[in-house]
Structure 1
Amino acid sequence: MTARPAPPQAPPPGLFITFEGGEGAGKSTQLARLARTLREAGRTVVTTREPGGTERAEEIRAALLSGIAKPYGPFAEALLFAAARIDHVDRLIRPALRVGEIVLCDRFADSTRAYQGAAGGVDPGTLRALERAAVGGTRPDLTLILDLPPESGLARARARAAEAGAGADAPDRFEAEALAFHARLRAGFLSIAEAEPARCAVIDAGAGPDAVEAAIRAVVAARLPGLLPAEPAPETASRDDAA
């Protein structure tokens, strides 16, 4: 009797890693560095951002960062972020995870909790309802919160804009907020990390980019074993040898 061929196996589920933090914390830089490391290790990586990531969501991003929705208040902005997130999750994030890819996202639902919630004053219960509608069960496996005093982050953001050249030095909708807003924002992200320690890891973003990258690699290696290539054992000298 001829044996039946084994049914094709479903690909392993992908992994979803998000980068969060205030303005100028270095999320985009560190996301690109982790993506490069993973690709060099043979992983298939999708990099994306919020708001954005899909054509429709990028259109909403442009409107939000221009400040066009600001007069309608933080709740209206939260609705727009949720609309962008629904398209992003449906069209990009879920399909990538379904085929076993690693998705690295610059901001996700925690940013809405922090910006429109902790800093903007929208009721947490309302935001939770929006989040359920937008993401369902598509939650990050790991969230890296890059923490930086707001004064330092805003200075970095201004320097970055100046380096980008003429026409790029005007702060966007959220960079232009007062320092007190950014202080509430930082507290909001730290509160999220405290409430969900199994998912979130706080990274000191005040160090240089290489040190921050090393800290992120250490967290990823510890939280998601086998994802990164093994680090070579460091060569150490005893105190007597160094004398």
Structure 2
Amino acid sequence: MAGCFITFEGGEGAGKSTQIDRLRSRLVQHAQPVLVTREPGGSPHAEEIRAFILGGHAKHLGPFAEALLFAAARIDHLDKTIVPALRSGTHVLCDRFADSTRAYQGSVGNIDKGLIDHLERVTLRGVKPDLTFILDLPAEVGLARARERRAGKGEGADRFEGEGVSFHQSLRQAFLAIARSAPQRCVVINGDQAPDEVEAAIWAALRERLPQITRDAVRPLDVA
């Protein structure tokens, strides 16, 4: 049986990494095979492209060039990591995927939707997430969280974290528009609440949308 492909999207500081790790732990405790990965990145060549993009080296080339670089990284990620895992029956949890390109470079970067659609068809070759969680919260809240996280690690802002608040407000609206356009695939989760509450909402949605993953779940772990 093929694994399920689950992606997490949202603005900076939305808590995607935290919730992916929590969902991974739950599924592992339910004896489900799980692989956690990320974009850009997730394979050796894709990680090299990630460092180039997030380091700001492609910014002067414009949104379309960045979209092409993301596509190149995504092709390698799919070929080397995602598709083999899914074919082996492993569930894949991915921190960002094609929706991020559609939001960051497409909507906010003003790349023509038809061009983004075509690039996506060529890149994905039919591979689509079974379920996408969009963690939504006010841009100001997310940026504050991101600053706090960076301060704790002694890191500076990356290519996108360093953009102004209006950029991130537009980004939030872009993700919500994606959710409205694909309601069968996307679930919007309120990210502006305690991590335990976010986790419970994600688990409840997973049980409803992909019951085959949680059919044998152990009851004491159910908090939803």
Q: TM-score, normalised by structure 1?
A: 0.88
Aligned residue in 1 for 2:162: 176
Which of 1 and 2 has greater Rg? 1
Give unpaired runs (5+ residues) of structure 2.
Answer: none
Aligned residue in 1 for 2:202: 216
Aligned residue in 1 for 2:106: 117
Instruction: Give me the whole-angstrom Cα distance separating, in 2, the residues matched to 1:219 and 1:40.
Output: 18
Match of 1:154 among 143, 161, 166: 143
Percent identity over the alignment is: 59
Instruction: Give me the whole-angstrom Cα distance separating, in 2, the residues matched to 1:136 and 1:62.
Output: 25
What per-residue deviation string (whole Å, max 9, x for no partner) do you get for residues 92-148 of structure 1? 101111111100000000000000011111111111111111111110000000001
Instruction: Give me the whole-angstrom Cα distance separating, in 2, the residues matched to 1:226 and 1:153.
Output: 33
Tell me if 1:135 matches 2:124: yes
CA 1:215 to 1:123, structure 2 compared with 1: closer, same or farther past 3 Å? same
Structure 1 consecutive aligned stretches of length 4 or more whose deviation exceeds 4 Å: none
2:35 alignment partner, SS class: strand
Matches within 5 A, 1:17-166: 17-165=6-154
Instruction: Give me the whole-angstrom Cα distance separating, in 1, the residues matched to 2:15 and 2:171.
Output: 16
1:227 alignment partner, SS class: helix
What per-residue deviation string (whole Å, max 9, x for no partner) do you get for residues 150-181 of structure 1? 0000000000001113xx1x111001111111
Instruction: Give me the whole-angstrom Cα distance separating, in 1, the residues matched to 2:10 and 2:107.
Output: 13
Instruction: Give me the whole-angstrom Cα distance separating, in 2, the residues matched to 1:210 and 1:65.
Output: 30
Instruction: Give me the whole-angstrom Cα distance separating, in 1, the residues matched to 2:219 and 2:107.
Output: 38
2:213 alignment partner, SS class: coil
Instruction: Determine which structure has the larger helix proportion and give its number.
Output: 2
1:121 alignment partner, SS class: coil
Aligned residue in 1 for 2:184: 198
Matches within 5 A, 1:6-17: 12-17=1-6
Instruction: Give me the whole-angstrom Cα distance separating, in 2, the residues matched to 1:208 and 1:78.
Output: 33
Which AA in structure 2 matches 1:199?
A: R
Q: CA deviation at 1:231?
A: 3.8
Give unpaired runs (5+ residues) of structure 1.
Answer: 1-11, 235-243
Contact kept, 8 Å, 2:30 with 2:218, in 1: the verdict is no
Q: CA deviation at 1:233?
A: 10
Q: CA deviation at 1:66?
A: 0.5
Which AA in structure 2 matches 1:220?
A: L
Instruction: Give me the whole-angstrom Cα distance separating, in 1, the residues matched to 2:76 and 2:221.
Output: 44
Which AA in structure 1 matches 2:185?
A: R
1:68 alignment partner, SS class: coil
Instruction: Give me the whole-angstrom Cα distance separating, in 1, the residues matched to 2:35 and 2:118.
Output: 27
Q: CA RMSD in A?
A: 1.2
Contact kept, 8 Å, 2:2 with 2:89, in 1: the verdict is yes
Tell me if 1:207 matches 2:196: no
Q: What number of residue pairs does the alignment pair up?
A: 220
CA 1:101 to 1:151, structure 2 compared with 1: closer, same or farther past 3 Å? same
Q: CA deviation at 1:219?
A: 0.4
